[in-house]
Amino acid sequence: MRRRAAIAFAAFTFAAFALASPASAGSARSWDDVFAVDGGGEVHLRAKYRDARGGEHALELWRSGNRLRRDTDGKLALYVERRADHDDRYRVVDRARGVAYRARRTSLFRVGAFPDWASLASLLTRPRGAAQLTEPKLAPADTALGRCRWYELAERGATRRVCWSDRWRAPLLVTERAGARWRPVLTVEQASADPIAPAVFAPPRDVTDVDVDGDLAPQD
């Protein structure tokens, strides 16, 4: 039973990361230099994106200091508390099943999930393999949410463009090459810097709580 709970948590965690991370970006150095999210203040974003199968999803992100929350399609919610010791605290709430899985980052490593604060907070997934990040000769885009600067990403035969906003410290638009065209992968539709109520980062209590840390602890 314990092992099944841990595996189930890992599955939901992977879903939260995969469904809500439609783009990949740069080398480790380029990522940290270009797509920095720390120090940007409180941010609330609403976006839509397409998964690898072409399905469209709704994504909502709240980011404040050492806390963030990401909701996917109003069904799956991911809460993260960033820790100074890097052993961040995670909770995935599956609203349909009424279950919340909570774990430390070290426990997620044990079940094959490798979360990254910068990826979750920026809506871009840090690549594990080789990737090339360049700045194409394109004028900055003026959107309803402000100006963003284009970067081009080449990874595993795929090419994407990210229009990054220094104001919001997030991409406002991500496109991918489809033949001679560029089609949207992610579009941020709303953004706010208004103060975020603490209750936003408080997981619901009317769910069954599963302690994955305990489930994965060595048994005597």
48-80 burial, b at 16+ Cβ within 10 Å, e below that, comes to ebbeeeeeebebbbbbbeebbbbbbeeebbbbb
d(CA 87, CA 102): 13
User: What's the one-letter identity of residue 205?
Assistant: R
d(CA 153, CA 155): 6
Q: What is the pLDDT of residue 155?
A: 80
**23-31: average pLDDT:** 69
Residue 52 near residue 60 (C-beta atoms within 8 A): no
For 178-191, the pLDDT digits (tens) are 888 999 999 999 99
d(CA 49, CA 157): 21
User: What's the one-letter identity of residue 195?
Assistant: P
Q: What is the pLDDT of residue 63?
A: 96
Helices (runs of H) and strands (runs of E) counted in the chain: 5, 13
For 88-118, the pLDDT digits (tens) are 999 999 988 899 988 899 888 887 778 888 8
What's the N-to-C CA distance of the chain in angstroms?
A: 16
Q: Pairing between strand 141-143 and 56-64?
A: unpaired
Residue 9 near residue 111 (C-beta atoms within 8 A): yes
Q: CA-CA-CA-CA torsion for 198, 43, 80, 131, nearest 10 degrees?
A: 180
- Is the pTM above the cut of 0.75? yes
Three-state SS at 151? strand
| pLDDT higher than 80, residue 9 | no
Residues in the chain: 220
2-216 CATH: 2.50.20.10
